[in-house]
Amino acid sequence: MKKVGFICEGLTEFILLRSDGFKNYLASLKIEIAYDVIDAHGCGNLLPHNRNEHIKRLEDNGAEVIIILTDLDNAACITLTKNRIQPSENSTVVIAVKEIESWFLANTKSMRVLLGKSDFDFEFPENEINPFKTIYNLLVDAGKGSFNKKRLVTNLLRLGFDLNESAAHPNCPSAKYFIDKLESISPKE
């Protein structure tokens, strides 16, 4: 088993990375979460001077690799965001475009169940400026009420949300990059 530490920027990522479905996926890759997922509480807290204590805690608990998961938000590009975060030698930065909620829009199966619409399909999830607001509006339009981010991710996980399905979407390359990174650090036997 390879021990991996995860640092994320917010509650949605924190809940997703701590979910049983994600842990089961990691186990299938022979990856174990070192310590616990760390929520840095905002992307500014992912800068080197703010995250050093998190990295030390993960390394002290056996993390061989650290993955930092953040949103692109309104930044100009992925490369600038990675450079701003300045990953350390044993860490990888994964950036969800525009926000991690775009990965939810890319997950056709779960979104169909959530919305109660068997014909739901979202062609360009990473083009949404505010994917959470898009999902919120879709829920209201479908008569499903309104959700906050915590309730949204919790319900999607309950409905069987699977990151691999998001990664398989032809227009969600940031989710695919995340899955590819996990598979690349999986111990090969």
User: pLDDT 10s per residue in the chain (189 long)?
Assistant: 999 999 999 999 999 999 999 999 999 999 999 989 999 987 677 777 778 889 999 999 999 999 999 988 877 688 878 877 777 788 888 999 999 999 999 999 999 999 999 999 999 999 999 999 999 999 999 999 888 999 999 999 999 999 999 999 999 999 999 999 999 999 987
Task: Kindly give, in sequence order, each residue whose CB lies less than 8 Å from that of residue 56, ignoring residues fewer than 6 positions away.
Answer: none
User: Which residues are bridge partners to 119 per DSSP?
Assistant: none
Task: Give the separation between CA 17 and CA 38, rounded to whole angstroms.
Answer: 10
> Tell me, what's the pLDDT at 88?
76
Torsion of CA 141, 145, 146, 148, to 10 degrees: -130
If asked whether residues 113 and 74 sit together in one domain, one would say no
Are 34 and 4 contacting, i.e. CB atoms less than 8 angstroms apart?
yes
Residue 136 lies in a domain: yes
If asked whether residues 56 and 82 sit together in one domain, one would say yes
List C-alpha distances in Å: 105 to 93, 124, 176, 181, 182.
22, 9, 14, 21, 21
Task: Give the separation between CA 86 and CA 97, rounded to whole angstroms.
Answer: 18
User: What does the DSSP assignment read for 65-100?
Assistant: EEEEEEE-TT-S-HHHHHHHH---TTEEEEEESS-T
If asked whether residues 67 and 127 sit together in one domain, one would say no
CATH number at residue 53: 3.40.50
Please give the distance of CA 142 from its chain centroid, rounded to a whole number: 25
CB neighbours (10 Å) of residue 180? 12
Q: In degrees rounded to 5, what are phi and psi of residue 158?
A: -60, -35
Residue 165 lies in a domain: no
Tokens at residue 84, please?
Answer: 């701003």
Tokens at residue 166, please?
Answer: 């998001």
Question: Which residues form the domain of 151?
Answer: 102-158
State pTM to two decimals.
Answer: 0.93
If asked whether residues 179 and 87 sit together in one domain, one would say yes
Cβ-count burial 128-153 (b if 16+ within 10 Å, e if not): beebbebbbebbeeeeeeebebeebb
If asked whether residues 87 and 138 sit together in one domain, one would say no
Strand 65-71 and strand 2-8: the pairing is parallel
